[in-house]
């Protein structure tokens, strides 16, 4: 059984962010009436240029009860608002406030209102250093950062509202995302866009640690489309589900691919490890495939080529790198 997005009022928290903006576009294609809540601390209205006239936008902090009240009569909430992992190293208290307390505010607003479906978009960072090959939903979490701990707290709060109040909730754990509009700037900067811009500018690609750490990268448009499809599945009610590409890519391999695709002669420079960094991430997607036809549609190399093309057209890479911070957790 599937719920319908067409004509339904859907709220996306963090909808001006990297994944959130792609998700908003996917929801609009499916006929949803979309409201975005974002405090623009890391998101940008520029990410919504293609659709800003077609949505309602609320600027505010989800921890503010007056802002959270926007979700009270929504038919569906997709909750992506977050403080990122690097920010948690610098300011753990604010990170936990948004990631955990903000989730509680939203759920309480929904409980007091119409109690539509609440989709909590979590993070693979909750697994931390858990001992496993592929991380499955039954792997015991062992987060290494306050970010991971706060996202796990948000999951547990969401599940408690399902179990205590019978609210319609789903928890989705995406693994690493990349693609157009991905962050390269400030404490939001991610490895793929930073590598691409550094390669295009002829600067060293900075690898934190030995580069053997791995990630499971999924193209952002795939993630957005699958979030829409999974959010409407009634079979997932009350559950927790991984979504990822299902392939480990070492940071050293990623650097080589970026250099090959850009044709750059830039060197690779190894620098100090990032605090709390995870040695590996790989999604076990067996469970979600029991409930859906989940399969990423964009291969990793194809998605990386698209991302390189996007950043080639974005502007002078040397100018853009003025916004980069090499150690973006300090």
pLDDT tens per residue across span 24-51: 999 999 999 999 999 999 999 999 999 9
Residue 237 token pair: 């009610």
Q: How many CA atoms lie within 13 A of 245 on its CB side?
A: 23
Q: Where are the alpha helices (DSSP H) in the chain?
A: 18-29, 65-68, 85-90, 92-96, 102-112, 146-165, 191-200, 220-231, 251-262, 286-291, 300-314, 317-320
Q: Looking at residue 329, what is its pLDDT?
A: 80
Residue in the block written with tokens 């009022």:
9
For residues 224-250, give the mean pLDDT: 96
The dihedral formed by the CA atoms of 64, 167, 2 and 229, expressed in degrees to the nearest 10: 40
Strand partners, 283: 135
Q: How many CA atoms lie within 13 A of 52 on its CB side?
A: 10
Q: Which domains does the chain have, with CATH numbers?
A: 9-176+220-243 (3.40.50.720), 179-216+246-283+298-319 (3.90.25.10)
pTM: 0.95
Q: How many residues does the chain have?
A: 330
Are 14 and 224 a contacting pair, CB within 8 Å? no
Of 7, 39, 36, whose CA–CA distance to 24 is shortest?
A: 36
Residue 61 token pair: 């902090």
Q: How far apart are CA 185 and CA 310, in angstroms?
A: 16
Q: Looking at residue 2, what is its pLDDT?
A: 65
Longest dimension (CA), the chain: 58
Mean pLDDT of the chain: 95
Percent of the chain whose predicted confidence (pLDDT) is above 90? 88
Is 256 a residue whose pLDDT tops 80?
yes
Strand partners, 10: 34, 76
Task: State the catalytic residue, choosing from 127, 147, 178, 245.
Answer: 147
Q: Looking at residue 163, what is its pLDDT?
A: 97
Q: How far apart are CA 318 and CA 8, in angstroms?
A: 44
How many of the other CB atoms lie within 10 Å of CB of 191?
23
Q: Looking at residue 123, what is its pLDDT?
A: 96
Task: Kindly indicate the confidence band of residue 1, based on its pLDDT and cuts at 50, 70 and 90.
Answer: very low
- 147 catalytic per annotation: yes
Residue 98 token pair: 């948004």
Q: Looking at residue 302, what is its pLDDT?
A: 98
Which range (58-67, 274-283, 301-310) has the least confidence?
274-283
């Amino acid at each position: 059984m599937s719920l319908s997005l067409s004509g339904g009022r859907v709220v996306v928290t963090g909808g001006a962010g990297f994944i959130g903006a792609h998700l908003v576009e996917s929801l609009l294609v499916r006929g949803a009436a979309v409201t975005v809540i974002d405090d623009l601390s890391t998101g940008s209205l520029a990410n919504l240029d293609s659709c800003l006239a077609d949505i309602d936008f609320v600027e505010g902090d989800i921890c503010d009860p007056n802002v959270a009240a926007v979700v009270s009569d929504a038919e569906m909430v997709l909750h992506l608002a977050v403080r990122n992992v690097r920010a948690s190293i610098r300011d753990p208290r604010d990170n936990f406030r948004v990631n955990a307390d903000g989730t509680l505010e939203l759920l309480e607003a929904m409980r007091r209102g119409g109690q539509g479906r609440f989709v909590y978009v979590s993070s693979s960072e909750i697994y931390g250093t858990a001992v496993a090959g592929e991380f499955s939903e039954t792997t015991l979490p062992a987060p290494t950062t306050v970010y991971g701990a706060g996202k796990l707290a948000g999951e547990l709060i969401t599940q408690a509202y399902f179990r205590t109040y019978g609210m319609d909730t789903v928890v989705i754990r995406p693994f690493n995302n990349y693609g157009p509009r991905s962050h390269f700037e400030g404490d939001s900067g991610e490895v793929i866009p930073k590598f691409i811009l550094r390669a295009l500018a002829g600067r060293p690609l900075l690898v934190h640690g030995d580069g053997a750490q791995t990630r499971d990268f999924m193209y952002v448009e795939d993630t957005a489309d699958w979030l829409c499809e999974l959010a409407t599945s009634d079979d997932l009610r009350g559950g927790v589900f991984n979504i990822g590409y299902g392939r480990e890519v070492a940071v050293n391999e990623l650097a080589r691919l970026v250099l090959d695709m850009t044709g750059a002669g830039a060197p690779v420079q190894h620098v100090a490890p990032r605090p709390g960094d995870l040695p590996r991430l790989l999604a076990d997607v067996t469970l979600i495939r029991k409930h859906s036809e989940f399969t990423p549609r964009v291969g990793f190399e194809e998605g990386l080529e698209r991302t390189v093309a996007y950043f080639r057209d974005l502007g002078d890479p040397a100018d853009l790198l003025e916004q980069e911070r090499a150690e973006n957790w300090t």
